[in-house]
Amino acid sequence: MPYPKKLLNPDETVALDLHPHWWYFAHAAAALALSIVLAILVAVLVNDKDHHSLRRFLIYATIAAMALSAIWLIGRYMKWITTNFVITSDRIIFRQGVFAKHGIEIPLDRVNNVNFNQSIFERVLGAGDLLIESGGEDGQQRFTDVRKPQNVQNLIHAQVEAKNRQRGAYAAAPAAPAAPAAPLDVPAQLEKLEGLLHRGAITQQEFDAQKQRVLGT
């Protein structure tokens, strides 16, 4: 299932939403296939007439192995379908859990480095691991069974660069123009100067000079 849109921030967009690579099922599927093969071999090779008790024991054992392997495979599928590796315009999100949920979020502006690792076999399959180094408390996070990890690495770098450009554009945006100064209240200033003159706070000469400045003459 896709990552819930209701968990995104306002104006946040999803660039990539991945479930783990199908190799995630390999061990459980191999166990189920092996138990089925063993059940067939028991039915074909063990004679019921000569080895009745042994055959019955082996049949019960292989049926139990098939049941456990099937439960394991179903559990892996439920975990797979509820695991999301998401890259958005703001962050990297890893979310997992059928009933109880847990996850990791790394803001793009804290991502320092992204490395990927693939064995030869994983390269053939198109799977691998990602190691993301960030400025958060955890420092490093490893994500396994990622589809085409090199492409994911490139996308993360592209999203980080886009985030940095966006932040730089905001920083370089011109400041809002200052509000124009309120016009001088000439009569009020003259009245104030006259009051100072009458109280003797300024001389007649000072009054005349200030009056000329207010009137602009």
| DSSP secondary structure of 131-188 | EEEESSSS-EEEEEEEESHHHHHHHHHHHHHHHHHHHHHHHHSPPPPPPPPPPP-HHH
pTM (2 d.p.): 0.67
Scanning the structure block, which residue is given the tokens 């104006």?
Answer: 11
- The Cα–Cα gap between 125 and 127 comes to 6
- 33 and 65 together in one domain: yes
Give the pLDDT of residue 35. Answer: 93
Give the pLDDT of residue 138. Answer: 66
- 55 and 133 together in one domain: no
In this structure, of 30-34, 40-44, 185-189, the range with the lowest mean pLDDT score is 185-189
Give the pLDDT of residue 207. Answer: 75
- The Cα–Cα gap between 151 and 145 comes to 14
Identify the domain boundary among 38, 60, 82: 82
Q: Which one, of 13, 10, 2, lies nearest residue 163 by Cα?
A: 13
Average pLDDT of 43-72? 82
- 3 and 51 together in one domain: no
φ and ψ at 24, to 5 degrees? -55, -30
Q: Which residue has the higher pLDDT, 183 or 201?
A: 201
Average pLDDT of 141-164? 90
Going by the DSSP 8-state scheme, the letter that residue 43 receives in this structure is: H
Give the pLDDT of residue 140. Answer: 83
- In the sheet with 91-96, reading across from the earlier edge strand, the strands are 14-18, 84-88, 91-96, 102-107
Q: Which residue has the higher pLDDT, 87 or 183?
A: 87
- pLDDT tens-digit series, residues 89-145: 899 999 988 877 888 888 988 888 899 888 899 889 999 999 998 876 667 889 999
**How many CB atoms are located within 10 Å of the residue 126 CB?**
16
Residue 178 is assigned to a structural domain of this protein: no
Give the pLDDT of residue 137. Answer: 66
pLDDT surpasses 70 at 48: no
Q: Which domain holds residue 109?
A: 1-20+86-173
Average pLDDT of 32-52? 80
Give the pLDDT of residue 134. Answer: 84
- 67 and 168 together in one domain: no
- 3 and 93 together in one domain: yes
Residue 181 is assigned to a structural domain of this protein: no
| Mean pLDDT, all residues of the chain | 83
113-19-71-67 Cα dihedral, nearest 10 degrees: -100
Confidence of residue 30 (pLDDT cuts 50, 70, 90): very high
Give the pLDDT of residue 175. Answer: 57
Give the pLDDT of residue 201. Answer: 67
pLDDT surpasses 80 at 193: no
The count of structural domains within the chain is 3
Residue 165 is assigned to a structural domain of this protein: yes
- pLDDT tens-digit series, residues 72-99: 999 999 999 999 999 998 999 999 888 7
